[in-house]
Chain A
Amino acid sequence: MHFAYPPRKTSNPPPYLPRSSNLPRFRRSRLQLIALAGLAFITFIYLVTRVSHGHGHGAYSQHRPSGKPPVVLVTVLDEVKYNKAYIDAVKENRIQYAERHGYQTFFPKVGDYDLKNAPASWTTVVAMRHALTKFPDCNYVWHLDQNSFVMNPRLKIEDHVMKSSRLEKLMIKDHPVVPPDSIIKTFSHLKGQDVDFVLTQDKEGLSSGSYILRNGDWAKFFLETWFDPLYRSYNFQKAETHALEHIVQWHPTILAKLALVDQRTINSYSKASKGAEYQDGDIAIRFVDCQAQNPIACEVESQKFAQKWRTAFKNS
């Protein structure tokens, strides 16, 4: 019976076992450990990636304006109807005010945009939209009608009106949007930081001659909706102003961003017949009566205040 049993081990064993592999560190048990750790790691990676896969693309966030310039002043000029000297005075007023605070001005002209046969006053709406395009990093856009002057150069839009705490004091809550008896009222629980649209009422209703918008997705949505071709073609009696009253009353997503403030905050009138009359220290004055009459009436009326704003700008 040869080889029925294995050969004996050697009688003088080597002092230590020979190395079994070239990599002495990785013994069998270690290899197992490494394999297990690797498996756990891969599982972990899998879980993490599949979770993030479901959420995939992170949440959408709109462009955050950097505040350069902080405010853009938009005035639509009608160079056809009005005298050039008058237009220049209006421009100079805005430019001086803007320079003082590092703002920018934007002066589009009536006829710059294709309104598809709608009244020319619709230009202001599309001009505001254009301003958002031209100044994507501005914080606020202030629309100020052509027949008006900035009277108080010291007041800054972002402090005087748009600061949250200030706005919460200014806004008129639970007030019919369209006076006297609209059942739609401004929100009573609105925070200053949620307001994207500040405007005023005069004796006839909402006034679209002077309002401030906060730059952002909402502003674009609002202006584009306001400029809807079906509103332009509807023959509202007062064109864009009535369209504004319409969307504010019918669409809560617009009402929810709107704050009504006292008229004299941004929109004092030269005469008390249509709204609150200008008093010294108000930021702006608008000549409202004259528009209905003729261009010359506005130029005449503005003369009284032209000197006033020049001295005010010089003294401050």
Chain B
Amino acid sequence: MSLSRSPSPVPGGGWASPGLNISASGRSSPTRGYSGSSGTPVMWESARLKAGYPSFSTQNPSFLTRHMRRISSSLSRFSAVNPHTDKEKPARGRWSIQRVPLVGRLRGMMGRLGKKMKIRLLILLLLLLSIIVFYQTPLIYHWRRTSWLGGGQKFVIILAANVGGGVTEWKGAREWAIERDSVRNKKKYVDRWGYELEVVDMSTKKRYAHEWRESWEKVDFIRTSLRKYPKAEWIWWLDLNTFIMEPSYSLQSHIFDRLERHVYRDINEYNPLNISHPLTESYLDAESQSPIGDGNANSVNLILPQDCSGFNLGSFFVHRSAWTDRLLDVWWDPVSYEQKHMEWEHKEQDALEQLYISQPWIRKHTAFLPQRMINSFPPGACSENGNDTRIHYDQRDRDFLVNMAGCEWGRDCWGEMYNYRELSYYLNRMLWERFKEDFVAVIWYKLTGQKVKL
């Protein structure tokens, strides 16, 4: 083979002569600096390409043209023509690369990579590592909990368990199952987002011996929880017959990051109780007469939904504040209770309505959430006027929480709980579960006629 001129030395020290027979190239050993590689002299051929920019290029070569050598040189090679390997280890097979130990092979690959590529790989590796560290270890849990990062510690969920237990009736298997499912659902939710969960025992005890204060424990439990969790800012009260349908919604993203957009403070927006609002008494200041208080989201201390018949305390939020202390303090009052307990069917709920109606200071700091944001009803509740888009659960909208309110009065609590549990699972399936259930199981059913649960 003739050359128009002698080849010049290239970085890496090789003798660039692609057309020449290798054994005639004048070099008989692999280049230093690539000593970790497999040891075939052909290697420095590709190393030459990697060591710097190619010495020439046609205009804008395609990907394959650019990288063909690189790719092909990393493949295992038929080494029949290679005299060196045969000389060193004549016993080995003809595919030499298989015999090189893994570490050496990796080293060789690394050696063949350019500096830039190494850095890129390192960054990729770091990224991968940090993703694994962040998402596969408790780190994410602690991140979400910490008050100045995720802020999970600012939220406490109080779950009222064991309602009416202890005195009124025995708990049957269904009641236990409801309680188990409900608690597990909340537990998973708080574990995911780093909130606190406080399961409280609502069983009727003779706690208030000389009063008629039964079923007012709500107030006391909220107060205890505020003391128990000093970092808590918001307390979320949940009745037992509730199910978080979308555990992937965090409270922050669902409500609190944009509180001012989600809540409405002017009750006229939805006013099933026909409360006249705002107050117009002349002795009140402008803020008390305003329909929206001071209009600033940070003055909201109580957030509750309204159902078809007024306030609903099955799922509501209170904010730690001096205001809340006052509310919890005056919520139960013997004089009010003595006059009203015959009318107040829902005790603390009616008392709160009464306070809202008569006390300007309560109105100023109360806001309402559209019911379906935290308290969707199943079709059985509030059903007098048929389905109401403001009240009833709709799976197409992926409502956050279902409250099976009033299911103990003639409806099937466990049945509803079970259905919503399954629906929540169905809606939140991952790809793998879909593959198993919508594909494998279906095929299996077609083939064998048996339904399987995978």
Contact = CB atoms under 8 A, between A and B. Distances in A.
Interface of A: 1, 4-6, 51, 53-60, 113-114, 126-127, 129-130, 132-133, 136, 217-218, 220-221, 224-225, 228-231, 233-234, 246-247, 250-254
Contacts of B329: 251-254
16 contacts: A4-B3, A51-B148, A51-B149, A54-B256, A54-B257, A56-B297, A57-B298, A58-B298, A60-B298, A113-B283, A127-B283, A130-B283, A217-B322, A225-B326, A234-B339, A254-B329
Interface in B323-340: 323, 325-326, 329-330, 333-336, 339-340
Contact of A230 (B56, B321, B336): B336
Given A57-B297, A136-B285, A253-B326, A246 B359 contact: no
A76 to B, nearest CB: 12
Given A56-B297, A57-B296, A230-B336, A133 B257 contact: no
Given A54-B150, A113-B283, A229-B358, 16 more contacts: A5-B4, A5-B7, A6-B55, A60-B299, A127-B283, A133-B283, A136-B285, A217-B323, A218-B322, A221-B323, A224-B360, A225-B359, A230-B336, A231-B335, A247-B330, A253-B325
Contacts of B2: 1
A141 B437 CA distance: 72
**Which secondary structure dominates chain A's binding surface?**
helix
B289 to A, nearest CB: 9
Nearest to A51: B148
Contact of A54 (B151, B297, B298): B151
Contacts of A5: 4-5, 7, 56
A27 to B, nearest CB: 16
A228 B321 contact: no
B125 interface: no
A56 B55 contact: no
B361 interface: yes
Interface in B273-299: 281-285, 288, 296-299
Contacts of A130: 282-283
B259 A56 contact: yes
Q: Which 10 A-B pairs have the closest CB atoms?
A: A6-B56, A130-B283, A57-B298, A133-B285, A54-B151, A253-B329, A230-B336, A60-B298, A221-B361, A57-B297
A26 B339 CA distance: 81
A132 B285 CA distance: 8
A7 to B, nearest CB: 9
Contacts of B268: none
Contact of B333 (A220, A250, A252): A250
A247 B256 CA distance: 35
A42 B298 CA distance: 28
A233 B338 CA distance: 12
A130 B330 CA distance: 22
B335 A246 contact: yes
A246 B151 CA distance: 41
Contacts of B322: 217-218
Interface band, chain B: 35 or more
A228 B339 contact: no
B29 interface: no
B354 interface: yes
B94 to A, nearest CB: 32
Interface in B299-355: 299, 321-323, 325-326, 329-330, 333-336, 339-340, 354
A136 B294 CA distance: 15
B74 interface: no
A129 B283 contact: yes
Nearest to A58: B298
A221 B330 CA distance: 10
A222 to B, nearest CB: 9
B25 interface: no
Nearest to A228: B358
B35 interface: no
B252 interface: yes
A247 B359 CA distance: 15
B4 A4 contact: yes
A225 B296 CA distance: 24
B334 A250 contact: yes
B244 to A, nearest CB: 21
Nearest to A108: B283
Given A5-B5, A220-B361, A251-B329, A60 B321 contact: yes
A220 B148 CA distance: 34
A59 B300 CA distance: 11
